Structure formats: C-alpha cells, structure tokens
Amino acid sequence: MRTLSMTLLLAALLSGCSETPGGSKPPSEEPLPSGSPVPTGPPNVPEFQPAFPGQTRAPAIQTKMALQVTELASGFRNPWAIAFLPDQRMLVTEKPTGSLYLVTPQGAKSPAVAGLPPVDGRGQGGLLDVEVGPDYAQSGLIYWTYYEPRQGGNGLAVARAKLVEGAQPRVEGVQVIFRMMPTLASTLHAGGRLVFTPDGKLFVTLGERSVLEGRVQARDVRSHFGKVVRINPDGTVPRDNPFVNTEGARPEIWSVGHRNILAAALDGQQRLWTVEMGPRGGDELNRPEMGKDYGWPTIGYGEEYSGAPIHQSPQGPGMEQPVYYWDPVMSPSGMTIYTGDLFPEWRDNVFIGGLSSQALVRLMMRNDRVVGEERLLTDLRARIREVVQGPEGALYLLTDDTNGRLLKLTPR
C-alpha cells in the first residue's frame, strides 16, 4: 500500500507537467510507471524519510528493445573518461598512469599521448576527465582534469593544450587554467568532471577531499572543496558568477555543499545536472543552480561507513534537496542525458555509470522528477566508470578494472 500511495501522489504532483530534462514534451497519453522499485536491499538510514514523493526508490522500469554490447578495446588500466573528436575517434584517459590514448571507432589504440604533466595517481587520483574544446576545429585544444602533485599534498587541476597527431601523438602548449585550492594531503574526493556550455563557459565539479579537514569546507565559499565551479575556457572568471562580489569567496564558485561529484551533463535546456557520491547511503541526483547550497555535510541521506551518524536531519533551512537519492548507494560515475535516435524509448532519459552497483543506471524523467529506474547490463558484472553518447546515438562505456574495456551499446 505504501508503494501505491506514493505512486498516486507522484502522479498528482506531475499531472500538469509538459517537459522532460531534455526539453521535449512527453506523450500526454503515456502513463507514469507504477509498482515496486528496483531491488536494492533495505536503507542504511531508514529513519530519514524522503522530502517529497518519488525522491527515492522510483518504480522499476524495463527497456523494451533488445540490446547489443560490443567490446571495442581492452587493456586499459582503470580508464576514466571518453571524449569524441570530430572524426569520431575517441580520447580515453587512464586514471592511475596518467596516460591518454586516441582510439578509432574500430578500437585501434594509439601510443600514449606525450607531453601531459605528471599526476598523483594514488587512491582516487590520477588523470580523470577529458573534453574536446568547443573550438577544436580551429584551435585543436583539448581539456583534462587530474590530481596535480604539489608541495604539501595535491589538488585537482584543469589543463588544456593543443593535440598534435601523428605516429606519436602529443600535446603542446600545456596551460593549467584552474587549480583547486587549498592544497591538501588527500588521495580522495576531488571530483573532476568537465562540462562545456553553449555560451562558452566550463563547469568543473569538485569533491571535498573526504578527510574531515576538507569535509568541513564544503559549504565555505573561501574554499573550492565540495563545489561546482564555472570558468571561461582560458581560466578567467565569468563576471556573472554568484560570488564574484563576495569578500573572501573563491570567485569561480557556482554552487556549494557537495560531497564528491563524478557525474555531470547538460540537458536539452542546457541546464547542468550532476550525480554525487554519498557515504553509506545518500548518492544524489541534483540540478545545481547558481549560488545555491546543497547542504553537505550538514544534511544528507546517508551515514559514515562505520555506521556512525553524520547528519541530525536530511533537511535544513536554506539548503536544497536532491532531485533523487539512493540508499543503499549505486556509486555513480559518468553521466549522459540521451538525445539520440537509436533508442527512441530512451529519449531524454538519464544514464549513469554504477560502480559498486555494477550497472548502467537508467532514470526516466518527467517534469524534472524521476518517475522510473532501471539497472542495465548487470550481467556484465562490471564497474561502469563512464557513459557517453556517441555521434551516431550509441552509448559508449568504460569498465573500471585493471583490464578496463571500452564498450559500445546498440540495439540488437
């Protein structure tokens, strides 16, 4: 009865909706999913109840189309990110080694690109995201994030350089355009996703470094820890950022109060969506808005890995609620909002790589709310680190393993 009542409440809440996160109108006759959620086990913090119907444990849904998984390449050591070049070749990063490769659509892999700066590859560090610059056809610029070794510790950095192709590809003219500050001795929680916007800005997601010294800075605008930042492609600060006139604040900050964001994408309305790692319980889907506070570590839906409490309440004044949360966690990494034609039933759905859940997580959206959830590719028994949409509408995935694989998902 509890599931049924939540479904009816959600239907009432969404009855007047007209748009999905992708910006298109859903068929008015299409009923909302109903029924039991994806089986995940009991919550770690059952006393924390959702703030609104449908905020967690949405009804399970099932893709109708048969799927085909094709392995394009393997042998990557814990790969982290994929970016497509204009000719449909891919850039693929290898986290602990700091190596970057070019991969053809058929899976042929280049030698490691020369000229990248050294990385701190311990723990969750290394070479992380990579993106092709919006003006790549003219500039040849690519952008990447990495744990930068520093005196006294490390920190996430964003660099850009011109990609020079050939038998031995290389980058030249490396510029570090952003450095997470302050420096801290931690191998955890630096975030690292890059998202370009159509107006020429660049979002960078940042974690709070996990250790207590970093965690307590997640809501402090004097620190980059636990933030989404917004910069220009040359690293300068947009004049309309929310904290540019706040004394002592880091002017790059867009939003605050995040734990560790490893998934980010724009929807069809060009709005930023993110998925961040919770502790034991409390992974979150958010739509970070300018200047808003998402509450970590003051509020949340999880607990310490030891089982000790973190939050007195999952809600608090002046702090935003997640659009959706998971307890138990699915361990998100990598994200895309589908806009292609190969999978019509997936249009405007959110896809997230699942690490501990060993799944590709699909979310059906309606009016900025999750109305259905599916766990795909669980038979692979693989940690999904990255998911991107290819130029032809296929989904491309990376598995997180010492023999990581590049996979292509198409209709069968």
Cβ-based neighbour number of residue 372 at 10 Å = 22
Q: Give the Cα separation of 94 and 80 in Å (integer).
A: 6
Within 13 Å of residue 263, how many CA atoms lie on the same side as its CB?
Answer: 32
Residue with tokens 């660049």: 202
Tokens representing 134? 């919006």
Q: Give the Cα separation of 244 and 238 in Å (integer).
A: 8
In degrees and rounded to multiples of 5, residue 261 shows phi and psi of -90, 115
Tokens representing 94? 């290898």
Does residue 311 have an active-site annotation? Answer: no
Do residues 254 and 292 lie in contact, with contact meaning Cβ atoms separated by under 8 Å? Answer: no
Cβ-based neighbour number of residue 302 at 10 Å = 28
Tokens representing 268? 């069809």
203, 271, 214: which is closest to 241 by C-alpha? Answer: 203
Cβ contacts of 34 within 8 Å, gap of 6 or more: 4, 7, 59
As annotated, the active-site residues are 189
